[in-house]
Structure formats: structure tokens, C-alpha cells
Amino acid sequence: MAEMSDSNLAKTTVIQQAIASCCGAIITSLFVTPLDVIKTRLQAQSNPFYKGKCFVYSNGLMDHICVCDNGDSKAWYKKPGHFKGMLDAFVKITQREGVKSLWSGLPPTLIMALPTTVIYFTCYDQLSEALKSRLGKDDEHIPILAGSLSRFGSVTIVSPLELIRTRMQFRKFSYRQLYLCISSKVASDGWLSLWRGWSSTVLRDVPFSAMYWYNYEHFKKILCKELGTHEPTFFIAFASGAASGSIASVITLPFDVVKTHRQTELWECETLKSAVPQRDSTSTWAVMRKIVAKNGITGLFAGIIPRLFKVAPACAIMISTYEYGKSFFSHLNGKMSQHP
């Protein structure tokens, strides 16, 4: 991002912000998905997936619950392989199955992840602008408020769609069957049943978002000052995104552990036709107590290294490509306003 004077910059439109976030989302998923595909293959090797077993798949933008189906023996996560570790798995999968295998399962998850990311980033920018005009440009509460509200909104919109996607993936429903299934579920359990698992997602994502944006804006300001630039360069955005993403992911890790536990348990109960646990036993705090009783306090921080390896690069790539896209449109708008 070449530095230009403020007079050459113009505000980006909502459509331009949406395009920038969409491009950032695609680039992020292309870089991060192979890490999760390898992790899932190693997981399946040590503990084979049975029918109805659930696992979490991440494309770097959001987590998805995947439900195994024995009928589909050719599924990417069931392919045989004897891997000694991540690097060995990377080499063997590339050699035996082709490079494309590293992006297995990506297309269906992008259908959910792209709109979520576009809503989230565009809302953040729009809310930030609105809050700046009311609270003042340098108010430190703006990233916290804008980050929390935009994440809350995107999670609430996408939560029922993700539930529908998971059900379609496991049951192989036609659209008519899906409609009948959802109608009967709403009739028996009410509309709120479509937001099952929403609370654990919000408890993880909203604090994450508040901390992430607060730290990102803070680090960005410090680095811009140190390097004497008015506009964040690609490096500044990348470094600020990685640092703020790492801090937020470590602090919210207990909620991530609980969310994964709750969602996989609920889906396994449904697919294996076993009794769905009582709401009291699946509440966030009940699950936390259960994990602490079984594994101690360290159980709430299980998988900290893999989460950092996934979240830090994902946050860094997403925010730097998004800022780059906005900078491109900003310069373009500036030039167009000078030469109508």
C-alpha cells in the first residue's frame, strides 16, 4: 500500500467494503484450509470417524460442524493414509491425491463463510463511522462497540442457516424434505430452536471480536506512528492482525472449547438418535464445570497451540487483504474525484 497524502484519499462505499472483505475471505480460506484438512486427516487416522461422529472443520473464516456418514466411504476425511505428522501428511496427500485434496470440503463451507465475513467487516466499518461522528474520532470505545455489535449481528443472522446446512449435509435432504423437517421442528420446539448453539457461539465470538478490534486499532496506531505513515501498510495490518488475533484467541479459548463440546454433543445426540441432554446440563457454565472436573483447569485451554496456528495467520491474512482492498478503492475514489 503506497503511502499517499490524505487529499488523494476518499471514503470507500459499502459495496467496495463488501468486495474487499469478500476478496479477503477467499484469500484467507485458500491459505488456512489446508492446515485444517491435514489436522482432520491426522485426527481421523488416530481415531477413525464412525457414522454420526461429528468433527469441527474450519476454513479460517468460521467453524463448521461436519457429521460423518458411513454411506459415503469416499469422503475426503476417510481416505486412508499413514502420516507421521503435519509435514509428512502435507507431502503424502499432495503426492498421492493431488494438490486439490488440501482444499477438500471447502466449497460448501464458503457458502456460509463468505456472507458472514462480508456482513461482519462491512458492519464494523459502517458502525465505526457512525460512532466516530457521535463519540469523536479518537474514542477508544469505538472498536469495542463496533466489533461486538457487528459480530453479534452476523452470528445471529447466520446461526439458523448453519444449522440448516449441517442438517442437509448429514441427511442428504431435498429442499422439500428440508422444509418439512424445519417446519415440524419449529412447530414442536418453537422458532428459537433454529438458533440452537447460538449462545455458546456468541459467548466466544463477541468477546473475541471486542478484544480483537480494540487491540488491532491500538497496534495499528502505534506502528503507523513508529513508521511515520498516515495510512497502514500491508505489513502494519498483517502484524497488528496477527498480534491482536493471538491475544483474543488465547483469552477466549475456554469458550471455544465449550462451544465445540456443546455443538458436537448435540449433533451426535441427534444423528445417533440418543436422548438429547437436558438444557441445564448443556449450558455453557455446566459444560465448563464438567470439563474442569474431568481434566482440571487446563482442560479449558486444550488445543491452544493448534488454535493459535490457525487463528493468528487467518486474522493476519484477512485484515491485511481487507485493508489493502479498501486502500485500493480509496485511492481509486480519490483519483476519480480529481478527474471527473
Do 284 and 262 form a contact (C-beta atoms < 8 A)? yes
What does the pLDDT look like over 7-65, one tens digit per residue?
456 789 999 999 999 999 999 999 999 989 998 888 888 777 777 778 888 888 888 88
Average pLDDT, rounded, for the chain: 85
Q: Alpha helices of the chain — where are they, by DSSP H? A: 14-46, 86-97, 106-135, 142-171, 175-189, 198-227, 234-251, 253-271, 279-282, 284-295, 304-338
Q: What is the mean pLDDT of residues 195-214?
A: 91
Size of the chain in residues: 340
More confident residue, 231 or 74: 231
Tell me how far apart the alpha carbons of residues 219 and 213 are, in angstroms, rounded to a whole number: 10
Pairing of strands 63-67, 54-58: antiparallel
Quick one: pLDDT at residue 39? 86
Q: Can you give the pLDDT at residue 181?
A: 75
Whole-number pLDDT of residue 4: 39
Give the integer Cα–Cα distance in Å for 263 and 300: 16
- Please name the amino acid found at residue 81: G
Residue range 303-326: mean pLDDT, rounded: 93
pTM attached to this predicted model: 0.86
Q: Tell me the chain's radius of gyration from C-alpha atoms.
A: 21
Q: Which of 283, 114, 175 is nearest to 167 (CA)?
A: 175
Task: Find the mean pLDDT for residues 252-280.
Answer: 72
Report pLDDT for 2: 42
Which one-letter amino acid corresponds to residue 110? Answer: L
